[in-house]
Amino acid sequence: MGLSITEKSFLFDSLTLDPPLRTDGRGSHQFRPIEVSTDFLPNSNGSSHVILSGGSECIVSVKTKVVDHTVESELLVTDVDIQGHRDDSPLVTSMSSLISKLLKQTIDQKKLMLTKRYSFKLYIDVLVLASKSYPVSMISFAIFSALKNTWLPKLISSDDDLEVEELPTFHDYDMVKLDADAPLLFTFAIVGDSVLVDPSFEESLVSNNGLLITWYKDRATSPIRSVGLNNDNVKGFSQHHLEEAIKLIHKYAPDVERALVSSD
Amino acid sequence: MSVQDRRRILGPAEAKPLRFAVDSETSIPEEGRTDDKKTGKESVFISTDLVTNANGSSYLEYMDGNSDQVLVMSSVFGPRPLRGSFQSKASVSIQFKEVTLEHFNTGEIKEICTFLTNVFNAVINIEKYPKSGIDIFIDLIQHSNSNPAEEENIIKILPTCINSITMALVDAGIEIIDLVSAGSVDNSVVAFIRNGHEIVGIWSDDDKVSDISRLIEDCRVKYLQNKQTLVQYLR
Amino acid sequence: MSRFEIYSPEGLRVDGRRWNELRSFNCSINTHPNAADGSSYLEQGNNKIITLVTGPQEPASRSQVNTKQASLSVTINLTKFAKMERSKSSHKNERRTLEWQTSLVRTFEKNLMLHLYPRTSIDVQVHVLQLDGGILGAMLNGITLALIDAGIAMYDFVSGVSVGLYDTTPLLDLNSLEENAMSSVTIGTVGKSEKLSLLLVEDKVPLDRLESVMAIGIAGTHRIRDLMDKELRKHGKTRVENLTN
């Protein structure tokens, strides 16, 4: 499914107007409506389901397991599965490498430690049911809401087991909320001279370039990437496009974060 | 949209483009080699047209002040006919040949490939080559790190890869809108064209980044140096 | 009664059901209207399944074109987090999953009017978010609902359930604990008839007991058919109301 040359040219022209005229009437800083539901999988410690109005959907499950961290140092496992793409396709591998690297940097592994010997190991599984536009933003939103709604069993045994070996025991029903800050990733499309947040599928087709910027702990931070939203309209962009994107993020990302936190 | 192109008569599968004898004035500039490890200066050695069965190839040796070494060879195959559905523009693919990549995980390599493909989609004049594929292979021959305690960082090799692909494309005679080159500062790489007025790719993993304009400015300085080296070689 | 007694002398199972009782059954259709042409969400006990149907559409490649009828494909995505313990490897290419896919395709090829859609493909994706026994039966129900939502012509409902045999007692709709403890069969019936569209026996079942097992299975699938029918009618009603308002 693609657009004809005429459709693309019309879309490109309307998007490069000042202010840009987007197909769904959004402003350049506006997101499409996002529907988030959490905690629907009793088998998982945390779960979230994000629906974008363009027909993209994503499910994230967070599962935990108690491991001996002196043996197993890797406490975070991220797995991305995108429907319609093979597991070894460039999109899936680069997406999962980007996200797992980012989560390893941002999630404080010390907070997963239970005792001096045992830790929780987090398994974050991402399932993208359908995606029309570049899915990374949606995935990061889903991971964010899943981690914000992850409940771990409460430890009742002593947390110092270095001398006296003791297996951790947990409370029968009391749970503790996981304290983790996940980063949010924002995608921008650069079309002509306009910088648009959250590009739809059609907008990605005509964009000249794409930008990926991370929002973490109230500031725009790395990874910052230029990403190809299509293969045949790619052009360079200038420094002020990048600055514009960062300005937009500083202005609107706090609102997005607040909306996601309040959604549960 | 999957319309098969029936109008084209495909040549035999093993067809090769015509090649003409080149003048035998092979004077490889040796200026790169003269700079030794001890000088503590950055040095680059460039050579092109090494791989005979590729349409274009280049070999770059890059050594930075701390004698970190990156040896990269790129070869360009194409433009060659693409079978299957009709495409009005060339499709560019960039891949690493396996060797010496054991330090990096495959996900990161794929990420780099996607990134490089996007950069070169922007600079290769792909409208010029309908129904064709341009395949670029990067061979990371050696990559040494002076500081073994430091984690292997894929970003270190990225600018050299970009420069090397640019040279290989020039050698293949494929139309590009400008010489792409990249500059890197700490954990960030920015690829520029048009004397640094246009960015074609940015890859930043630096979590301390506070001022994006500064970062771009710093990378631009490095870009201009690198580009100067490429231009000098081509002269 | 001990916790792990599969079937107590009083006639109660691990989750408190009697031998002929189904687990809680919840379903809804058109749950993912933007992501696919037809979709359903189904909970059968602790099984949670999302089914997405796309098509009839132009096949991805020329080789898949069938000039006589639509080509049907079923992909089962058993997620890594579906079980209680997270599985390390993906279940995509497991023999069991591939076998389920083939048996589901064969079942629905007989029950869909595929000859009405020549030169097209109909793709069904089943995502298992949570797994708790009798999954094949649940997938039959989920696919039926999603196909109905996609508006693809079919002869009748196909509904499925699993039945186990504990000693001499047949037990309807097994959960995973029970499934591991006894031999079971999965039955798929067409509508309210006694026509079997699918019968999967993976373990040994004594022949003289098979009849009673099938009888309770067929009764169970008829009940499920009614539950699905009720939900569909409710859904249809709200849609008509939305249209008239």
Domain residue spans of chain A: 12-157+173-262
The confidence score (pLDDT) of residue A263 equals 65
Using a CB-CB cut-off of 8 Å, the residues of chain B touching C61 are 2
Q: CA B51, CA B53: separation in Å to the nearest integer? A: 6
pLDDT of residue C65: 87
Contacts of C177 (CB under 8 A, 6+ apart): C4, C6, C14, C133
- Residue pair B125/B180 in contact (Cβ under 8 Å)? The answer is no
Q: What is the mean pLDDT of residues C178-187?
A: 91
Is residue C59 reached through a cis peptide bond, with omega within 30 degrees of 0 on the bond before it?
Answer: no
pLDDT score of A231: 83
Q: What is the mean pLDDT of residues C177-194?
A: 92
Of A57, A77, A56, A55, which is closest to residue A65 (Cα–Cα)?
A77
Nearest to C218 by CA among C238, C188, C197, C178: C188
CATH code of the domain occupying A12-157+173-262: 3.30.230.70
Instruction: Give pLDDT, residue B71.
Output: 87
What does the DSSP assignment read for A17-34?
A: SSS---TT---TTPPPPE
Provide the pLDDT for residue B214. Answer: 84
- Collapsing DSSP states into helix, strand and coil, what is residue B88? coil
**Residue of C6 and B155 predicted with greater confidence:** C6
Q: Is the pLDDT of residue B101 over 70?
A: no
Confidence of residue C196 (pLDDT cuts 50, 70, 90): very high
- Integer distance in angstroms from the first to the last C-alpha of chain A? 36
Name chain C contacts of B4, Cβ cutoff 8 Å: 62
Among C126, C119, C81, which residue's Cα sits nearest to residue C101?
A: C126
Q: Where are the domains of chain B?
A: 33-174
Is the C-alpha dihedral spanning A23, A24, A27, A28 positive or negative? negative
What is the model's pLDDT at position C157? Answer: 93
Query: What would the two tokens of residue C34 be?
Result: 């933007």
Over residues C160-175, mean pLDDT: 92
Number of helices followed by number of strands (H, E) in chain A: 5, 11
In angstroms, the CA A215 to CA C82 distance is 31
Provide the pLDDT for residue C1: 45
pLDDT tens digits, one per residue of A18-38: 888 998 888 888 888 888 999
Give B157-183 pLDDT, tens digit per residue.
888 899 999 999 999 999 999 899 988
Nearest CA in chain C to A86: C92
A208: closest chain B residue by CA: B122
Confidence band (pLDDT; 50, 70, 90) for B29? Answer: very low
pLDDT interval class at B23 (50, 70, 90): low
For residue C150, what are the CA distances in angstroms to C142, C157, C229, C242?
12, 14, 16, 19
User: CA of B185 to nearest chain A CA: how many angstroms apart?
Assistant: 13
Beta strands in chain A (DSSP E): 34-38, 46-52, 57-68, 76-82, 118-130, 151-155, 170-177, 184-191, 194-197, 209-216, 219-227
Give the pLDDT of residue B28.
Answer: 46
pLDDT-based confidence at residue A146 (cuts at 50, 70, 90)? very high
CB of A43 less than 8 A from some CB of B: no
3-state secondary structure of A55: coil
Q: Is the pLDDT of residue C19 over 80?
A: yes
To the nearest whole angstrom, how far is the Cα of C64 from the nearest Cα of chain B?
13
* β pairing state of A170-177 and A194-197: unpaired
Does C196 or B62 have the greater pLDDT score?
A: C196
Q: Dump pLDDT digits (tens) for C206-235.
A: 999 999 999 999 999 999 999 999 999 999
Query: How far is the C-alpha of C211 from the C-alpha of C218, rounded, in Å?
Result: 10
Q: Which residues of C touch A44 (CB under 8 A)?
A: 81
CA separation for the pair B98, C100 (Å, rounded):
37
Q: Which tokens sit at C45?
A: 């006990």
pLDDT tens across B35-90, in order?
444 445 677 888 888 888 889 999 988 887 666 788 889 999 988 888 877 888 88
**Which one is the CATH code of B33-174: 3.40.50.970, 3.30.1150.10, 3.30.230.70, 3.90.1300.10?**
3.30.230.70
Say if the Cβ atoms of B212 and A227 lie within 8 Å. Answer: no
- Is the separation of the CB atoms in C83 and C135 below 8 Å? no
| pLDDT above 60: residue B100 | no
Interchain contact, C86 vs A54, CB within 8 Å: no
- pLDDT at position B24 over 60: no
Give percent above pLDDT 70 in chain A: 99
| Interatomic CA distance for residues C46 and C174, integer angstroms | 11
Least confident of B27-36, C32-41, C59-68: B27-36
For residue B27, pLDDT over 50 is answered with: no
Do residue B89 and residue A232 have CB atoms under 8 angstroms apart? Answer: yes
Of the candidate ranges A92-96, B170-174, C110-114, the one whose mean pLDDT is the lowest: A92-96
Positive or negative torsion for Cα A229, A234, A239, A240: negative
- Can you give the three-state secondary structure of A165-205, one letter per residue? CCCCCEEEEEEEECCCCCCEEEEEEEECCEEEECCCHHHHH
Mark yes or no for CB contact A43/C80 under 8 Å: no
Which residues in chain A are contacts of B180 at CB distance < 8 A? none
Q: Side chain identity at A5, as an amino acid letter?
A: I
> In the numeric block, which tokens belong to residue A162?
């270095």
- The answer for residues whose C-beta is within 8 angstroms of residue B42's C-beta and 6 or more apart is B62, B63, B64, B65
Closest CA to C51 of C118, C116, C95, C108: C108
Average pLDDT, chain C: 91
> Which pLDDT band, with edges at 50, 70 and 90, does C27 fall under?
very high
A186-190, B231-235, C143-147: least confident range: B231-235
The two structure tokens encoding residue C105: 């395709």
* Token pair 């197909």 in the structure block, residue: A23
Does residue B25 register a pLDDT over 80?
no
- Of A47-56, A96-105, C113-122, give the range with the top mean pLDDT: C113-122
Chains with 3+ CB–CB pairs under 8 A to C are A, B
Contact yes or no for A124/A46 (Cβ under 8 A): no
Confidence of residue C106 (pLDDT cuts 50, 70, 90): very high
The answer to whether C213 and C189 are in contact (CB under 8 A) is no
Q: Which residue has the higher pLDDT, B55 or B11?
A: B55
| Confidence band, pLDDT 50/70/90 cuts, at residue A186 | very high
Which residues lie closer than 8 Å to C21 by C-beta, 6 or more apart? C172, C173
Tokens of C196: 């079997």
Q: What is the mean pLDDT of chain B?
A: 80
The pLDDT value recorded for residue C74 is 94
Chain pair A-B, CB pairs under 8 angstroms: 103
What pLDDT, on the 0 to 100 scale, is given for residue A62? Answer: 93
Contact C104, C73 (CB under 8 A): no
Q: Rounded to the nearest 5 degrees, what angle is found at the Cα of A27, between the Cα atoms of A21 and A28?
A: 90
Written in H, E and C, the secondary structure of chain C is: CCCCCCECCCCCECCCCCCCCCCCEEEEECCCCCCCCEEEEEEECCEEEEEEEEEEECCCCHHHCCCCCCEEEEEEEECCCCCCCCCCCCCCCCHHHHHHHHHHHHHHHHHECHHHCCCCEEEEEEEEEECCCCHHHHHHHHHHHHHHHHCCCECCCEEEEEEEEECCEEEECCCHHHHHHCEEEEEEEECCCCCEEEEEECCCCCHHHHHHHHHHHHHHHHHHHHHHHHHHHHHHHHHHHHHHC
Give the dihedral sign, CA B14/B17/B23/B27: negative
Task: In whole angstroms, give the CA distance from residue A58 to residue C75.
Answer: 18
Cross-chain Cβ contact B205/A222 below 8 Å: yes
Tokens encoding A107: 């999630």
Tokens representing residue C225 in the block:
């058919």
The pLDDT assigned to B1 comes to 45
Nearest CA to A56 out of A122, A145, A128, A118 is that of A128
Cα A19 from Cα A14, distance rounded (Å) = 9
Question: Which chain A residues in 65-124 lie under 8 Å from chain C, judged by CB atoms?
Answer: 65, 79, 81, 83, 87, 123
Phi and psi at A215, nearest 5°, equal -120, 115
Say whether pLDDT at A123 is over 70.
Answer: yes
Q: Is A15 on the interface with B (CB under 8 A)?
A: no
pLDDT band of residue B30 (cuts 50, 70, 90) is: very low
List chain B residues with CB under 8 Å of C62. Answer: 2, 4
Nearest CA-CA distance, residue A219 and chain B, Å? 9
Question: Which pLDDT score, from 0 to 100, does residue B37 have?
Answer: 43
pLDDT digits (tens, 9 = 90+) for C44-100: 999 999 999 998 998 888 888 888 999 999 999 999 998 888 888 888 888 999 999
Query: What is the pTM for the complete model shown?
Result: 0.86
Are A237 and B201 a contacting pair at CB < 8 A?
A: no
Tokens read off for B136: 């670029």
CA A178 to chain centre: 18
Distance separating alpha carbons of residues A27 and C56, to the nearest angstrom: 36
Choose the CATH number for C12-82+92-244 among 3.40.605.10, 3.30.70.380, 3.30.230.70, 3.40.50.2300: 3.30.230.70
| Facing A225 at nearest CB: one of B122, B193, B202 | B202
**Would you list the domain boundaries of chain C?**
12-82+92-244
Q: Do C52 and A129 touch (CB under 8 A)?
A: yes
Pairwise CA distance, residues A125 & A143, whole Å = 9
User: What does the pLDDT look like over A150-180, one tens digit per residue?
Assistant: 998 888 887 777 777 778 888 888 888 888 8
Average pLDDT, chain A: 87
Spell out the alpha helix ranges (H) of B148-211: 158-172
